[in-house]
Each structure stands twice: as structure tokens, then as C-alpha cells.
Structure 1
Amino acid sequence: MAAPRFHELEIAAVRNETPDAVAITFAIPEDSRDTFAFLPGQYLTLRADIDGEDMRRSYSICSPLNETGHRTVGVKRIEDGRFSSFAQTLKKGDRIQVMPPQGRFTAQIGGDHDYLLLAAGSGITPCLSIAKSVLAGEPNSTVTLLYANRNSSSVMFRDDLNDLKDRYTTRFTLLHVMDEEVQDVEIMNGRLDAEKLESLAGLGVIDPKSADAIYICGPEPMIRSASTAMAALGVDEDRIKFELFTPAPGAKPAPAPKPKAAKGANGASHGAAVEIILDGARRTIEVDASTDTVLTAATRAGLDLPYSCAGGMCCTCRCKIVEGSATMDENFSLEPWEIEAGFTLSCQARPDTDRLVLDFDAQ
């Protein structure tokens, strides 16, 4: 399978959600609808030239599956965020480079499920897609959404959420948690942290142990805290789903296991010849592991490798080691079985051997 590539899409609509967040809807041409097919919870990577710099950012799709001709993402401006600030200026008719949907934070539609969604801030975007798709596609399923914000004015997609609440009165439960605005129900005030979740479970407001899956999306500290709380409440690890795009400053993952060396590895540390297989073509570049990852060296050499976050979180730059060996600086996204099978992240990979062959077409 070919590596993902960018497509130029036209913006069909831009809607203000809050004073610092917009919903951007892309028109999907009929001949590209298979390319942009998605699972609820996946994201789009947007690309733009901003002040002469090629920048890419990933934003989760908030569209339901039955929205065939459009894909909508929510973008919240972050402090000093050049791309998120640029996104606030986009308007209907503008065109922008968009990579087809990717991501593993997904819900399969079909059957009967009881889902618990925990979202904070712009983390609502994938959860909204999951909620809409499950409620529309599974007539016997239920969804409980616990959504944390500073105050009412910072709630994204309020109208969409209220519409779901009105349409699915017996199957959708919406609970708001506010930490800068006092609500009538005391337990719903404060931060959405482990203590809050344990209290809500203890009062029977949420029932994590009965959920078929728990989807968590928000800032990295909230994800870590909520995941820990769910595990402490007895939820099996395989039912807790989350995805990281922006870890907290200074956050470090568990040490990345070294991928299993393929035949031909000889133990050299840097100054490697790295052969890239991409879209069936081969090109060799030089990579000094003491100064560069494969991605930074490839970019300098003029190779347009697939990538998005460049921080070891999104898996867009995943590739397979065919020959040689490499070690990752960090790994927030590859599963142990993928590392054992020889996959690595080019944005984090540094060659261990004089020769390294990476296949970006391998799945």
C-alpha cells in the first residue's frame, strides 16, 4: 500500500464554535470519497506554508459516518500556536493540503455497545464523531459523554451536543464539568481528574466497569489521570482507548524498545547509508545518527516523507526496517507487536548500522 499523500481540498464552510475555536468543513470530491473514507475517531493532517515554513498539524474529524460529501475538523487556538492561529483566518473557498484520514483512536460501528467518552476542551472532536456515528448507526447502543471545560463559553460544538441530547433522549447522556464556573450540581464543578472520576463512579453517575470501551481525549495530563483512574476502578486495559498528539512539556514516554535488528546489521552507530522505499521507488541518503533522525535528514535531502506531528505520537511516519537496525528517541504510538515486527517511526529513528533500509509502503 502506498504511503499517504496530501490532496488539495476546498473549504466548504467555516463556523465559529467559541471565541478561539472554529469548525472547518472540507468538500470531498466524489472521486476522492473512497480515499477520505474514515472510522469515527480518526484525524486529518493539514499542511500549509506559514511565513515561508512548511507546517503540518493533525486535527480530529468530528463528522459522523453518514456525512458522505464533507469532513469537518475542530481547531482551537492555542497559545503561541502558529498553525492553530492561521486556521482561525481560513474562510469558505480557500484551498488547503489535507492528508487522508489516519489514526487508531477509533470505534467500529455495528452491534450493541455502551460507550463512555471522556473529553476535555478540543478533545471533544473525535468523541463527537464517535457519539454521532454510534447513536445513528447502532439503534440499541448508549453513549455517556463527560465533557470538561473552563466555562460555558469555551464549550465547543454546544449546538451539536444539545441536538444529540434532544434526539436520543434515552440513549445519550451528556455531563458537563466546569472548573471556572459554578454549576448547580456540586460534583460537576472542578477539574476532570482521577479524584473526580472516582467520585462520579462511586455515586453511580458513571459506570466505567460496564462500558464496552472508554474513549479519552484531551490534554496529556488529563489523559494520564483518567486512564489511571479507569484502571483503578477495575476497567481492563484493552477497553481504555486514548491517543496523544501533544504531550505536556517535559513529558517522557516509557523508554522506546529497540526494534529487532534485521539480517545484515553490524552494530555501527552513525554515518549510515539509509535506503528509503516510498511509493515503490528507492532513494539512498546519508544519516548521521549523532545529529539527525531519518526524517530530519530526509527532509534536508529533499525527500517528502509522510509525517505529521514529528514527535513520535501520531504514527504517520511509520515504516518497516527491512535491513539493518535503528533506535527511536521516543515512542508514544507504536505497539509492542509493531516494534517486534520491525516497524519504527522515521521522526524518531536513528540508524545503529552502516546500512539501513526502511520501507514506507509496508503495512
Structure 2
Amino acid sequence: MFHELTIREVRAETPEAVAITFEMPEQGNADFAWKPGQYLTLRDTVDGEDMRRSYSIASLPGKPLTVGVKRLEGGVFSTHCQGLKPGDRIQVMRPEGRFTPRGEDSLVLIAAGSGITPMVSIAADALARGAEVTLIYGNRNTDTIMFREALEGLKDRYVDRFTLIHILSREPQDVELLNGRITGEKIAALGRAGAVDLDGAQGIYLCGPGDMIDDVAETLQGQGIERERLHFERFFQDGEAPRKPRSAEAEAAAEAGVSVEVVLDGSRRRFNVQAGDDTVLAAAARQGLELPYSCKGGMCCTCRCKVTEGSAEMAVNYSLEPWELEAGFTLACQSRPTSDRLVLDFDAA
């Protein structure tokens, strides 16, 4: 599941963010083939604890595999990454994620803070194949703009097809509309001003804090933008997202004990969920079985699996689409059985 990669370069992007580039062994090229918008899960031992976090790939076409990591307040792993150096080795999971473009000819990308990381590769790839791209990027000030050099390079190269709009909350700009935080009303105002063609965009991609995404998405849908054109990738602070309390059905099942069987890499493995286990993932870890996961917050979809027998509820879900829920998919890091037996297929497409 994890491969050990050597760090090739660590480059400071801002005073609180770095770009980490990996050496890619010849035999690893196939394993690490990636699509713009996907992420890598990094794993390392920090202060004696086994930790992992997911970070989006920010590579330009044809360039080495790179991720961007911004230090978060209280973020143990993101702080650890700031101290990595060339020659260090770290465990890396193969690229994953579905926040990828659908071949659109016109895209609007909206990012805040470190939400820019997947947008770099999405914009560069789209521009290289001839698409028109508008990127709206929110930060506190100029010094906190990640991948500024790469974005300026794209702007210079694709002057007729790439529009780059910076929104700054703590550094005044001449145009009043470009001051403050990214909100739904601000995006709508940029559309009314003709700075961005929201109606003509075949795909609108949002990445950053959940409240920003929710506000912008709600505003755009209220203006008639179809939900099918909106695509999200949420970033969150280290730590768990707020979780719903366990239902009476889940409480009863856990008290009685649940037999769980998982299908993973073609093998079947079994364990039990008991009263003290908050989720399927926690129960598996308690019994020494490692299931795929990264964020544990219901956001990255690394632990996506399909319920093929039994039933389960989720504490939160920020990543599965409605069609996936209808098809029976769940997130192991959020799943609580509501039946006496549960079968989960991690190999399901």
C-alpha cells in the first residue's frame, strides 16, 4: 500500500509552506502515474506516533512529482513536513482522488490558501490541452501565495487563455472587489463585472475550507449553475471533523457485537466491532488489521468501500457523491454498523 520514496527537493513557497518533490525510481513510475487534481498520502513517525496525511499533487505536466504542504496551527504532521530535507525517506501511498477535470474546454477554479495545490496541476494540464482557465485565488497577503512563481509562469505563457485573479484579505488592492475573503457574493459580483464567465464555464472547481465551498456553491446554484458543473475538494485543520452521535440502531448493534468481513486486495479478512469501537476503521486497528485511510475526517475518500451485506451509517460524509451512496458505498473511517453482520468490499470500483 505504501512505497518508500526519497525526497529530492524541499522548496519554501511561503514562510509557512513548502513544496516537497520526490525522486521516482524507474520501477515506481507505473505505480505513481497520476491525474491532475489527485493527492498523495504521506506517512511517517512523528514523536513516536505513526501518522499520515493527504496532500494534493501540485506538479506541472512533465515535471517531477511534487506536493505542497502548509503548516497548520497545531498541525503536528504539517509542521513535521516543514523540517524534511533532500535525502530523507518517507512512506507514500499511490495517487488517489477524484477531484479531476472531465476534459472541459472552459474551467473556473476557485481556491483559498493551500487549496491551490490541486489547482496548479489542473490549470497547467487544461491550458496545455487548449482549454480556457480562470483561477480565483484567495490569501491573506502576497507573501502567503503558494506556487506564485508557477502561476505567474502559466499566466505569461498562456496570456490569452489564462486569467489569474488574486483576492487578498489583509493587503489592500486598488480594485475594492479584490479585497477581503472569497465568498459566494464576491464570486457572483466578479461574474456580474465580467471578470469571470460563470455561465459559460463547463466546470467550476472549488478547493479550500468547507465554509468557503458551501457558501460559494450555494450562491452559484442559487443563480442557476447546475450542481453537475460544480466539483469540490475540502481541506480541513488537523484533527477530526464534527461527528454525528451514534444512532440507536448502531448503539444496539455495537453492544451486541458485529461480525465484519472486508475484501481488500483480493483477500478476505474478519474482525468484530464492539461497544467501544467508534467506527469500522477503529475496530480493525484495535485488532491489528490495517485498512486504507488517510484523513479520518470523511473528506479524502481513501477508505471508500462498498457495503455488500448488512448495513451501516456514517458519522459524516464530505466526499461521497449521491450516486455512490445510492450504489452502497461508504467510508470506513466514518462507518458504524447497524446490523449484526457487515461485509465491506474495498476492491469495488
TM range (shorter): over 0.9
Aligned to 1:295: 281
Task: Measure how far apart 1:243 and its partner are.
Answer: 1.6
Task: Measure how far apart 1:252 and its partner are.
Answer: 6.0
CA distance in 1, matches of 2:246, 2:127: 38
Aligned to 1:51: 47
SS in structure 1 at match of 2:66: strand
SS in structure 2 at match of 1:333: coil
Aligned to 1:7: 3
Task: Measure how far apart 1:30 and its partner are.
Answer: 1.9
Aligned to 1:262: none
Task: Measure how far apart 1:253 and its partner are.
Answer: 8.8
Pair 1:334-2:320 in alignment: yes
> If the length of structure 1 is used for normalisation, what is the TM-score?
0.89
Task: Measure how far apart 1:228 and its partner are.
Answer: 1.6
Structure 1: runs of 5+ lacking an equivalent: 258-266
SS in structure 1 at match of 2:199: helix
Answer whether contact 1:46 1:97 (CA < 8 A) is retained: yes
Gap change, CA 1:143 and 1:256, over 3 Å in 2: farther
Question: Mapping of 1:167-178 within 5 angstroms?
Answer: 167-178=157-168
CA distance in 2, matches of 1:268, 1:219: 35
CA distance in 2, matches of 1:126, 1:135: 14
Answer whether contact 1:219 1:248 (CA < 8 A) is retained: no
Task: Measure how far apart 1:283 and its partner are.
Answer: 2.3
Answer whether contact 2:32 2:95 (CA < 8 A) is retained: yes
Pair 1:323-2:323 in alignment: no
| Amino acid across the alignment from 2:301 | C
Answer whether contact 2:19 2:69 (CA < 8 A) is retained: yes
The structure 2 residue matched to 1:95, chosen from 89, 96, 115, is 89
Gap change, CA 1:256 and 1:37, over 3 Å in 2: farther
| Amino acid across the alignment from 1:243 | E
Task: Measure how far apart 1:247 and its partner are.
Answer: 7.3
Task: Measure how far apart 1:82 and its partner are.
Answer: 0.2
| Amino acid across the alignment from 2:306 | K
CA distance in 1, matches of 2:325, 2:162: 39
CA distance in 1, matches of 2:239, 2:91: 28
Structure 2: runs of 5+ lacking an equivalent: none
CA distance in 1, matches of 2:295, 2:35: 20
The structure 1 residue matched to 2:143, chosen from 150, 153, 171, is 153
Answer whether contact 2:115 2:235 (CA < 8 A) is retained: no
Aligned to 1:71: 65
Aligned to 2:21: 25
Gap change, CA 1:191 and 1:9, over 3 Å in 2: same
Gap change, CA 1:256 and 1:338, over 3 Å in 2: farther
Aligned to 2:295: 309
CA distance in 1, matches of 2:30, 2:206: 28
Task: Measure how far apart 1:248 and its partner are.
Answer: 11
CA distance in 1, matches of 2:291, 2:95: 17
Aligned to 1:240: 230
Pair 1:188-2:171 in alignment: no
The structure 2 residue matched to 1:62, chosen from 58, 67, 73, is 58
Answer whether contact 1:119 1:217 (CA < 8 A) is retained: yes
CA RMSD for the aligned pairs? 2.2
CA distance in 2, matches of 1:244, 1:360: 22
Answer whether contact 2:69 2:78 (CA < 8 A) is retained: yes
The structure 2 residue matched to 1:132, chosen from 78, 99, 124, is 124
Quote the sequence identity (%): 56
SS in structure 2 at match of 1:214: strand
Moved more, 297-306 or 270-279: 270-279
SS in structure 2 at match of 1:210: coil
Answer whether contact 1:119 1:127 (CA < 8 A) is retained: yes
Answer whether contact 1:178 1:189 (CA < 8 A) is retained: yes
CA distance in 2, matches of 1:91, 1:151: 27
| Amino acid across the alignment from 1:122 | S
Task: Measure how far apart 1:256 and its partner are.
Answer: 11
Gap change, CA 1:9 and 1:329, over 3 Å in 2: same
CA distance in 2, matches of 1:331, 1:285: 24
Aligned length: 344
Pair 1:82-2:76 in alignment: yes
Pair 1:208-2:208 in alignment: no
